[in-house]
Structure 1
């Protein structure tokens, strides 16, 4: 590997060990065994390097997210099992989810990062709506993107925060499915 690749690998290790906000240029240089000046040369800034490392980790996670597909005889059982798998994943990949929350907080004062996160969220809405409908992304209606995709992303974010904050009291997949049914009943009344 060259310095650029070493720096990306070092930044990833720092994200895993220290998180997004506490990682310094010195930490990355030490983890990658590359000079601090090389960060500026190859990436322009610590933030740009951390963003690339975080987005690469998120892409890697997304590429393997098929493992989270639930099992069950009914749609409700599969949905609940999928959520149970996601909730377990929040604990197993805690560093990734914490780093993403820290990046979100930082993005509030970093317009380029905020724009990238917003675009990623728009893409995620379409992807999630397609997965829920069981259709290709290009077959998803804009209504499903805005309604189904947005609601599911909101649910995902909220459950993630609950699972990271208080894992023992985080809702189960079954409870989430029950809650959605109860909410639908309230909206219909």
Structure 2
């Protein structure tokens, strides 16, 4: 791997281990085994590097979740996503931290907005994306009382019945 790839790998590692807010340029450079100057040369800034690393990590998670056999049952599809809130907790938290950073960084906002557009397309619209985001928050804050995939589908069916 070259310095650019090493930096991305180091930044992903730091996002998982330290989170967005606590990751420093020094942390990334140490994890990548390169100088601090390499970050500026290859990415321009820490935020640009962390954003790219987060985008790649989320893409990898999406590939992992989409891999294997296609799951037809809606309860199981939602449960697979919900399970990732535990197995990939640090990555989901890093996404929340990045969302907060987007308030003050147009560059981060642009990348996250692109990710949301892709998420809407992949999940089938804005409502499933909003549901996923809300579920993520529930699972990160209060996992003992958060809904299961079966709960989600039952409540969606109840809403659909009520709406018709």
TM-score for the superposition, normalised by structure 1: 0.81
- Deviation at residue 67 of structure 1 after TM alignment: 4.2
Highest relative contact order (Cα 8 Å, sep 6+), 1 or 2? 2
The CA deviation string for residues 3-56 of structure 1, in whole angstroms up to 9 with x for no partner, is: 222211111110110011110101111111211111111111001111111111
Of 102, 107, 114, 2:109 maps to 114
Q: State how far apart, in whole Å, the 1-side matches of 2:68 and 2:93 are.
A: 19
After superposition, the CA RMSD in angstroms is 1.7
- Are 1:163 and 2:158 an aligned pair? no
Q: What is the CA distance between 1:69 and its match in structure 2?
A: 6.6
Structure 1 gaps, min length 5: 130-148
Instruction: Give yes or no for the alignment of 1:184 onto 2:148.
Output: no
SS in 2 for 1:171: coil
Q: What SS does structure 1 have at the residue aligned with 2:21?
A: coil
Structure 2 spans left out of the alignment, 5+ residues: none
1:115 positional shift:
2.1
Larger radius of gyration: 1
State the partner residue of 1:2: 2
Q: How many residues align?
A: 164
Find the counterpart in structure 1 of residue 127 from structure 2.
151
CA shift at 1:70, angstroms? 6.9
Give me the TM-score of the superposition, normalised by structure 2.
0.92
Partners of 2:15 and 2:94 within 8 A in 1: yes
Task: Work out whether 1:20 is the aligned partner of 2:39.
Answer: no
